[in-house]
């Protein structure tokens, strides 16, 4: 069998409302997930055992250790079957950046190895790997609540193909630290209408905590908001990546060029929503 390929598309939260902190320390949220056309890439081919190699622009920041989510996904899916695979992850997304890189990688590994081994993905496995993994497994525009799941696809979202710009100041932010910094104020539910309109009237409740930890996020948000043709700009997840949706690709590309010129140290990705 030749190698199989699977994309791990970057995740963004069009809006993210934090509703409460539970006694166990986890947070209940309401969010609209959307996904870019681009992201990391995984390949796999049959082998006697499970192994992982990592390359790509951000490979040096990600180690091949037992807590790597791709390996956890592979081992969880293999179970006691004795399945093996030689897996390669091309790491194109920044680490700890709010675009679901690790979760998207784990979800892509599940989809990839499910095809390679011809096995079904157990229903409880994705959520056991991480709160965003069920959404990343779907990798389509979706509504989620609770701990980030259950996930409900929004099949006619009207967002597919919309120009998207991702910008990160290349400063990692700890998701756990950002959630700890949330002020515990419930500012109300997220609308359930058309996803773009709901997002535009919504917010990301984690922005203040992320800004307190990494003030450079404010500069990214200001740079995006200042661009022509922006329909929505916001921080994604717990940061530090921020995004903007544009009316057309010309406006997006002009914004990408302007931000790259003004901030050569930023990571900038011009893409589209799936």
Residues 40 and 147 in one domain: yes
Residues 121 and 97 in one domain: yes
Q: Active-site residue among 11, 38, 40, 205?
A: 11
Q: Stretch 138-155: mean pLDDT, rounded?
A: 97
- Report if residue 210 sits inside a domain: yes
Query: What number of H helices and E strands is found in the chain?
Result: 9, 10
Per cent of the chain over pLDDT 90 is: 93
Residues 190 and 149 in one domain: no
Residues 26 and 48 in one domain: yes
Q: Active-site residue among 38, 105, 132, 205?
A: 132
Residues 21 and 62 in one domain: yes
Q: Is 91 a catalytic residue?
A: no
> Bridge-partner residues for 46, per DSSP?
85
Task: Give CB contacts under 8 A, 24+ apart, made by 220-227.
Answer: 220/167, 220/168, 220/169, 220/266, 223/167, 223/259, 223/262, 223/263, 224/165, 224/167, 224/255, 224/259, 227/251, 227/254, 227/255, 227/258, 227/259
pLDDT digits (tens, 9 = 90+) for 40-90: 999 999 999 999 999 999 999 887 888 899 999 999 999 978 899 999 999
- Report if residue 200 sits inside a domain: yes
pLDDT digits (tens, 9 = 90+) for 167-187: 999 998 999 999 999 999 999
State the pLDDT at residue 1: 67
Q: Which helix (H) or strand (E) holds 134?
A: helix 133-138
Label residue 2 by pLDDT band (50, 70, 90): confident
State the pLDDT at residue 194: 96
CA angle 221, 165, 93 (to 5 degrees): 100
Residues 22 and 130 in one domain: yes
State the pLDDT at residue 74: 98
State the pLDDT at residue 137: 98
Cα separation, 252 vs 270, in Å, equals: 7
Number of residues in the chain: 274
- Report if residue 72 sits inside a domain: yes
- Report if residue 19 sits inside a domain: yes
Domain final position from 153, 182, 205: 153
pLDDT digits (tens, 9 = 90+) for 13-35: 999 999 999 999 999 999 999 99
- Report if residue 148 sits inside a domain: yes
Mean of the per-residue pLDDT values of the chain:
96
Residues 64 and 197 in one domain: no
CATH of the domain at 90: 3.30.230.10
Q: Which residues, in sequence order, are CB contacts of 25 under 8 Å at separation 6+?
A: none
User: What are φ and ψ of residue 163, in 5° steps?
Assistant: -60, 135
Total structural domains in the chain? 2
- Please give the structure tokens belonging to residue 107: 């979800």
Q: Stretch 230-236: mean pLDDT, rounded?
A: 98
Q: Is 11 a catalytic residue?
A: yes
Q: What is the residue range of 207's domain? A: 163-272
State the pLDDT at residue 96: 86
Q: Are 189 and 17 in contact (CB under 8 A)?
A: yes
Label residue 124 by pLDDT band (50, 70, 90): very high
Cα separation, 79 vs 141, in Å, equals: 30
User: What are φ and ψ of residue 138, in 5° steps?
Assistant: -70, -45
| b/e 179-214 (16+ beta carbons within 10 angstroms → b) | bebbeeeeeeebbeeebbebbeebbbbbbebbbebb
Per cent of the chain over pLDDT 70 is: 100
- Report if residue 104 sits inside a domain: yes
Domain final position from 120, 153, 186: 153
Residues 106 and 21 in one domain: yes
Q: Stretch 87-99: mean pLDDT, rounded?
A: 95
Residues 12 and 144 in one domain: yes
- Report if residue 76 sits inside a domain: yes
- Report if residue 158 sits inside a domain: no
Quickly count: other Cβ atoms within 10 Å of residue 218's Cβ.
Answer: 15
Cα separation, 36 vs 17, in Å, equals: 21
Considering only CA atoms, which of 225, 218, 265, 260 is closest in space to residue 245? Answer: 225
CATH of the domain at 195: 3.30.70.890
Domain final position from 119, 135, 153: 153
Residues 148 and 191 in one domain: no
Residues 106 and 176 in one domain: no
* Residue whose entry in the numeric block shows the structure tokens 């056309």: 37
Q: Stretch 236-255: mean pLDDT, rounded?
A: 98
Residues 16 and 136 in one domain: yes
Is the pLDDT assigned to residue 240 strictly greater than 80?
yes
């Amino acid at each position: 069998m030749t190698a199989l390929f699977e994309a791990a598309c970057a995740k963004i939260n069009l809006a993210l409302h934090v509703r409460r902190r539970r006694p166990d320390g986890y947070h209940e949220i309401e969010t609209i997930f959307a996904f870019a056309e681009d992201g990391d890439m995984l390949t796999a081919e049959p082998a006697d055992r499970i192994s992982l190699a990592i390359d790509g622009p951000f490979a040096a920041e990600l180690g091949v250790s037992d807590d790597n989510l791709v390996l956890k996904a592979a081992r969880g899916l293999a179970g006691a079957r004795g399945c093996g695979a030689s897996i390669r992850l091309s790491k194109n997304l920044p680490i700890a950046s709010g675009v679901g890189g690790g979760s998207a990688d784990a979800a892509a590994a599940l989809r990839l190895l499910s095809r390679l081994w011809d096995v079904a993905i157990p229903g409880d496995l994705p959520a056991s790997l991480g709160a965003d993994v069920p959404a990343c497994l779907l990798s389509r525009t979706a509504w989620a609540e609770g701990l980030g799941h259950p996930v409900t696809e929004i099949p006619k979202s009207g967002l597919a193909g919309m120009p998207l710009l991702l910008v990160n100041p290349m400063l990692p932010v700890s998701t756990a630290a950002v959630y700890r910094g949330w002020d515990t104020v419930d500012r109300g539910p997220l609308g359930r209408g058309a996803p773009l309109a709901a997002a535009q009237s919504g917010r990301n409740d984690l922005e203040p905590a992320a800004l307190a930890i990494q003030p450079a996020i404010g500069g990214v948000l200001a740079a995006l908001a200042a661009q022509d043709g922006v329909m929505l700009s916001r921080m994604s997840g717990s940061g530090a990546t921020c995004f903007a949706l544009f009316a057309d690709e010309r406006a997006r590309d002009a914004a990408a060029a302007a931000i790259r010129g003004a901030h050569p140290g930023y990571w900038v990705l011009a893409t589209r929503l799936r």
